Chains A and B, each alone.
Chain A
Amino acid sequence: MTAGPKAEKARRVLVVDDDDTFRRMLVAVLADEGFEVLGPATDGLEGVALAHALRPDAIVLDIRMPGLDGLAAGRKIRDADPAVRLVFLSAYNDKTLQREAEALGAHDFLVKGCRLSELVDALVR
């Protein structure tokens, strides 16, 4: 995966996920890790809007969401801000989706259930 200019200082993170339980826990964990958690957004469209408005260093994106899915949202966000770090965190682990994420310039593609350290690494490495 590529590393953008903000790769070493991704401290402001936008969370985009439609599942309340997971999103709430993710926000709590990232905050506990010392990140400034922005949002969160509950679907792709809201994610695009908040990304434009808040200009985060990194965005953690779910893929399967109502309305605009994570990949489509990530593409729009990337078009508007090529420097933002995109980390996909999905229940899907399909290779095709991983390749699509890579193609649009995502920094990493993680599967939900991964260790927290992997997610933190993806955001700050």
Chain B
Amino acid sequence: MCFAAKGQPMSRTKLVLGIALLLGLSASAALVGLERRAAASRAAQVSLANVSTELTQLVLVPLAATAMPGTPAQKRPVLESTLRAQEQAIRSTLDRLKRASPPAQLGEVGKPLDAAMAAANAGLPVWLANKQGPTTIKVLNRQGATLSAALQSLGDANHAYGSRASASQIEALSGSAAVVALLLGAFGFFYRRSEASRRRMNDQGVTLRSALGELEAVQADRALLLQRTVEIAEHERIRVAADLHDGPIQRLTAVTLGFDLLSNKLKRGEHEQALTLVEEIRESLAEETVSLRRLMTELRPPILDARHLGAALQDCALQVLDGSAVRCEVDVTRASIHLSPELETVVYRVVREALVNVRKHAPNAHASVTLEPLGDLLRLAIVDDGPGFDENTPLGHTNGARYGLIGMRERVESVGGTWSLATAPGAGTRIEITLPRRLRVVAASRESAGLAA
């Protein structure tokens, strides 16, 4: 400055311009260098991203074996060739990057990369066999683990390049994201395969559990049915025992006393009194015969065996309603079917109980008994247009009639049937039951037995 000022001084403006030019050139050179380095870094990162993609594809190559047509022997050379080409591309890219001032992290990529490629090569025969099982899962896990490790190394290297050229960071991140996406895609593919299998097993498990649940429910129903059947049978035995005690045993023991008395009178020569006593004893025995026949009919109406259910129901209506003003129609013409003896007895007793109720509570009613087929079931309806009653009336206020209804219902349900009651004061009464139909062979075998006897 001072020199310029003393001698033939340069123009101040020229000096400033010169310095600015130098600075500008230096800055430009620096910028160009920086841009070159950034571009190199970006290129390296793109290359690494490509390696990541290629590596993922390399691992995926064996999976193509499952989709390709042809035998394993035909697929193997094609797939092996693809693997080799892919591997070669990866290695050449990495070599190129190593030669161009790589970051320290790039040196650590080699081993995991080799492991991933080895796993891919090892998986080829397994995928060619296209079998699902422990071996396939083992290979799958191995490939997943090695691929993950290799991609992690590549990601680290990518990050190192990124730190040298922060402008490329986003691209690096994008590359990483792409790698992660591919990774997820690859594992998703594997997962779907195993998931499909698991879903099938789950579906089978659900079906089995459902079937098991239904089976348990059926067993519980059968146990309950058996229990109720045993209870009803026990109640029936108790009732029959009481009937025998109160009826035949009392009358017959009275007859034995009568014979003792008769004997005394004959010994004393009281012939007139003896004759009177004989007549009393005879009358008593006749009454007892009627009583025993009634008990027998309640246990198993003989007409069911002598004729059929329809005739038995007609007979039942005649007997129960004899002497009453109840008019009753019995229609069993459409139900020309043989039931098992148990079901016949249930139908007979239900009808009898219902008609006894009609006679008792609706003495001037018009009633009907209808037995008809209903699909695989039988429907029995006993209807009257009598006074009806309030279904909600407590048990204790019905003179025992409700107990009869309960017994009727239990009897029906004990053989797997349903029972329903529809009534209201002034609206008549309708009792409807449905029963399962037994096979004809059940009734046929009984009839055969009867004929044989």
Contact = CB atoms under 8 A, between A and B. Distances in A.
Given A91-B253, A112-B253, A113-B252, A25 B258 contact: yes
A113 B256 contact: yes
Across the A-B interface, the 9 shortest Cβ-Cβ residue pairs: A116-B260, A112-B253, A19-B250, A25-B254, A22-B254, A91-B249, A22-B250, A25-B257, A113-B253
Contacts of B246: 19
Contacts of B252: 113
Given A25-B257, A25-B261, A29-B260, A112 B251 contact: no
10 contacts: A19-B254, A24-B254, A25-B254, A25-B255, A25-B257, A25-B261, A91-B253, A112-B250, A115-B260, A116-B264
Contacts of B251: 21-22
Nearest to B270: A32
Interface in A99-119: 112-113, 115-117
A28 interface: yes
A26 interface: yes
Nearest to A20: B250
B348 to A, nearest CB: 29
B264 A32 contact: yes
- In this complex, the interface size class of chain B, counting residues with CB under 8 Å from chain A, is 10 to 19
A6 interface: no
Most-contacted residue by chain B among A19, A21, A28, A112 (CB, 10 A) = A21
B33 to A, nearest CB: 121
Interface in B262-289: 264-265, 284
**What's the dominant secondary structure at chain A's contact region?**
helix
B245 interface: yes
Contacts of A75: none
A78 interface: no
Nearest to A114: B256
Contacts of A24: 254
A34 to B, nearest CB: 10
Contacts of B250: 19, 21-22, 91, 112
B269 to A, nearest CB: 14
Interface of B: 245-246, 249-258, 260-261, 264-265, 284
The prevalent SS among residues of B at the interface is: helix
Nearest to A33: B264
Contacts of A115: 260
Interface in A23-81: 24-26, 28-29, 32-33, 64
Nearest to B248: A91
A97 B260 CA distance: 26
Given A25-B255, A29-B261, A112-B249, 18 more contacts: A22-B250, A22-B251, A22-B257, A25-B254, A25-B261, A26-B254, A26-B257, A28-B261, A29-B257, A29-B258, A32-B265, A91-B245, A91-B249, A91-B250, A92-B245, A112-B253, A113-B253, A116-B261
Interface string A1-28: 0000000000000000001011011101
B143 to A, nearest CB: 85
B114 to A, nearest CB: 96
Contacts of A92: 245
